[in-house]
Amino acid sequence: MRLWSLHPRYFDRQGFFALWRNALLAQKALAGEAGKFRNHPQLEKFRKCESPLKAIGTYLSFIASEGLRRGYNMSHEKIICPNFDEDVMAVNGNQLAFEVKHLRKKLLDRHQPCVLSDKTAGDPDLNPVFCIRSAK
């Protein structure tokens, strides 16, 4: 299960639908229904929120909106708590750098054009449910 912090617009079709499926699985796990995935480390940032199901609902809502923008038939009915006003969660800058590098490699391996150019890779957009944590 991978729950990316990057904005969903950066993903090719294959990666985008994997993101959607993984986020739906995360929602199931946070609702206590996905057996072996209930304690997955990727869920920790959502569990720290006041309402984990609203937080994952917000995450899924932004993915679904991007899917609709692309012309995909995204089913908002699958989102337990569709929401766009959850508090923003912080993501570490090192985690973001790792995600950019990892996604660029995946896209290159699939021979897909990568919209994360050298210029945007240093300051990519995040899924709106995230913000970069300031260094202390």
Q: Which ranges of the chain have pLDDT less than 50?
A: none
61: β partners: none
Structure tokens that stand for 37 in this block: 């995935």
89 φ, ψ (degrees, to nearest 5): -100, 145
- Rounded distance between C-alpha atoms, residue 8 and residue 52, angstroms: 20
Cα distance between residue 100 and residue 97, in whole Å: 5
Helix or strand or coil: residue 73? Answer: coil
Q: Where are the beta strands (DSSP E) in the chain?
A: 89-91, 130-132
Q: Are 96 and 124 in contact (CB under 8 A)?
A: yes
Q: How far is CA 58 from the centre of its chain?
A: 10
Please give the pLDDT value at position 113. Answer: 73
Of the candidates 47, 55, 53, the residue with the CA atom closest to the CA atom of residue 128: 55
Cα-based angle 18, 23, 28 (whole degrees, multiple of 5): 125
Q: What is the pLDDT of residue 86?
A: 66
Say whether pTM exceeds 0.85: yes
CB-CB contact of 89 with 3 (8 Å) = no
